[in-house]
Amino acid sequence: MTDDRQAAWAAAGRAAASQVQDGMRVGLGTGRAAAQGIRALGARVREGMRVTGVPTSPASAALARAQGIRLGRLDGPLDLAFDGADAIDPRGLTVKGAGGAMVRERAVAQAADRFLVLVDGPKLVVSLDEWGVLPLAVVPFCARAVARDLADLGPVVRPRRSDDGLVLCDLHVPAGSDWEAVAARARARPGVVDHGLFVLDRRDVLVGRADGTAAAADPA
């Protein structure tokens, strides 16, 4: 990964961490951009801020512990959460799940009063067709049946399962498709726990830049 992209993610991570206030319960996402947010939040904790982090994966939990962030469970509302994304279109339709954590990520996002998404410029696309892949999380017992029912979408099962033991299956969405309709069709199949399509407010999408600055994708 290029130094410019790393710098951009770090900038977005600092911008997210700057929104955290003392005493907050904060959802901690999964992936490279979210990891930068966790590191930036850890720096604030070491300066004296008290927060409780609710991680969406064992990897994020391990990083948060290493940063000195106290961890808690998803047993109530969260004040704020931040995470990364794979692609975001101009309407706020967003694909997540390349890392396979979208089930926990959606649970954390929905529990949060505010959900921030950290990206760099290449993640902002004109159409999700530029990304083309919609991940699913599927109960193992149903995986073959789901793949058969969605065969026209070229399902590819990943060799590794999610942290919750779910089968991860990538659908290849044809160009020009209605992504929300595809996601709804997939979610309706028995055994599909969740998909990776999210709908965001682009004012909560923090775009990091290589020069160390960050700003909302659509400023208020």
Domain range summary for the chain, segments of one domain joined by +:
3-123+199-209, 128-194
130 annotated active-site: no
> What whole-number distance in Å separates Cα of residue 154 and Cα of residue 207?
32
Task: For the chain, give the percent of residues with pLDDT over 90.
Answer: 97
End-to-end CA distance of the chain: 31
Q: Which residues are paired to 208 by β-bridges?
A: 120, 214
> What whole-number distance in Å separates Cα of residue 103 and Cα of residue 188?
15
Class of domain 128-194: alpha beta
CA dihedral 196, 181, 129, 157 (to 10 degrees): 50
CATH number assigned to the domain covering 3-123+199-209: 3.40.50.1360
If pLDDT is split at 50, 70 and 90, which confidence band does 1 have?
low
Q: What is the pLDDT of residue 2?
A: 83
b vs e for 136-158, b when ≥16 Cβ sit within 10 Å of the residue's Cβ? bbbeeebbeebbebbeebebeee
Q: What is the pLDDT of residue 220?
A: 60
> What whole-number distance in Å separates Cα of residue 81 and Cα of residue 111?
9
The single residue of 47, 105, 130, 180 carrying the catalytic annotation is: 105
> What whole-number distance in Å separates Cα of residue 148 and Cα of residue 157?
12
Residues 18-53 pLDDT 10s: 999 999 999 999 999 999 999 999 999 999 999 999
User: Does pTM top 0.85 for this prediction?
Assistant: yes
Residues 150-206 pLDDT 10s: 999 999 999 999 999 999 999 999 999 999 999 999 999 999 999 999 999 999 999
Residues 129-153 pLDDT 10s: 999 999 999 999 999 999 999 999 9
